[in-house]
């Protein structure tokens, strides 16, 4: 199950700025409705429910715990894998290298999880504030933000 989550974090995400005016932001930022998996006519209750669901699923501490558990299970499943040949110094060095690789992999995973969680929180921050939401919806309506990378700036069908 963690491997699926890890693959989600390999996709580059673009986020909305969390501060300052939305009107001065880059027009190629990710749509907060899309980040939360909502349509543009979502109610405040739907926005809150989507945020809570995604925040629970993507919280870095929770994902890190799942990641560590999966790593432990993989190590336990490998059974040490030693063939009994080689000095204890060589085995110790190999174990240290494996542990360092695991720490680096966990650190990268935690950074990616933190970025995704931050994206979700930023999207909720925009959509839960009536003033920011109104400003975003106004700018979206007039084509200031792209829905996705493949829409060729076609904004005629916007609400």
- Residue 17: pLDDT band by 50, 70, 90 thresholds? very low
Amino acid 146: pLDDT? 55
% of the chain residues with pLDDT over 90? 30
Residue range 97-126, pLDDT digits in tens: 888 888 888 888 888 889 999 999 999 999
Q: Would you place residue 82 in the very low, low, confident or very high pLDDT band (cuts 50, 70, 90)?
A: low
Q: Three-state secondary structure along 33-98? A: HHHCCCCCCCCHHHHHHHHHHHHHHHCHHHHHHHHHHHHHHHHHHHCCCCCCCCCHHHHHHHHHHH
142-151 pLDDT tens trace:
876 655 444 4
Work out the mean pLDDT of the chain and round it to a whole number: 74
Whole-number pLDDT of residue 5: 43
Model confidence at 69, in pLDDT bands (50, 70, 90)? confident
Per-residue pLDDT, averaged over 67-73, amounts to 82
* DSSP string for 129-149: SHHHHHHHHHHHHTTSS-SST
């Amino acid at each position: 199950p963690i491997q699926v989550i890890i693959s989600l974090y390999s996709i580059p995400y673009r986020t909305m700025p969390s501060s300052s005016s939305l009107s001065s932001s880059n027009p190629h930022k990710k749509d907060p409705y899309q980040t939360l998996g909502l349509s543009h006519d979502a109610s405040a209750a739907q926005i809150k429910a989507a945020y809570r669901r995604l925040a629970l699923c993507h919280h870095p501490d929770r994902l890190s715990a799942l990641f560590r558990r999966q790593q432990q299970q993989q190590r336990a499943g490998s059974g040490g894998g030693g063939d009994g040949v080689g000095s204890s110094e060589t085995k110790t060095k190999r174990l240290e290298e494996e542990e360092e690789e695991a720490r680096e992999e966990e650190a990268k995973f935690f950074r990616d999880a933190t970025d995704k969680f931050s994206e979700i929180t930023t999207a909720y921050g925009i959509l839960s504030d009536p003033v920011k939401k109104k400003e975003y919806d106004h700018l979206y309506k007039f084509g200031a933000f792209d829905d996705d990378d493949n829409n060729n700036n076609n904004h005629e069908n916007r609400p």
